[in-house]
Amino acid sequence: MNQVKNNFQIIAATVSTLYFGLFAYGAFRFIQEFESIFDSFEAELPIQTSILIGSYRYWGILSLISAFVLYKVSKGKSSRSMKLLIWLFILSLLLVPFAIWGVYSPILEGSGQPAI
């Protein structure tokens, strides 16, 4: 039974590492496009958009931490490592609505103003 649990944890850590890598790459490509659009506006951006643009480059650290967890799980030291992996997954799920909010907030905040 312990071997089955260990194999499951290795598979979960591997899938999570791939997920975080693809998530960070997708966010980088997606937000980078919006960053160039926002730069062309030459206007002050909302705080959440500024935070998003300042931080999205570092989201790849999630995949590095996940790869470290994968290494720890493969060596059999998995109890705390798997808890960390779960927290990283929850963080990544929270980053998705934050990214959407940050990207679209300049559009939504300006929607109440009349066009000149």
* pLDDT tens sequence for the chain (116 residues): 577 777 777 787 788 888 888 888 988 899 999 888 888 888 888 899 899 999 988 888 888 888 888 787 777 766 677 777 788 788 888 888 998 898 888 877 765 454 45
User: Rounded to an integer, what distance in angstroms lies between the CA atom of residue 79 and that of residue 50?
Assistant: 37
Residue among 2, 69, 61 nearest 28 (CA): 61
Provide the 3-class DSSP secondary structure of residue 115.
Answer: coil
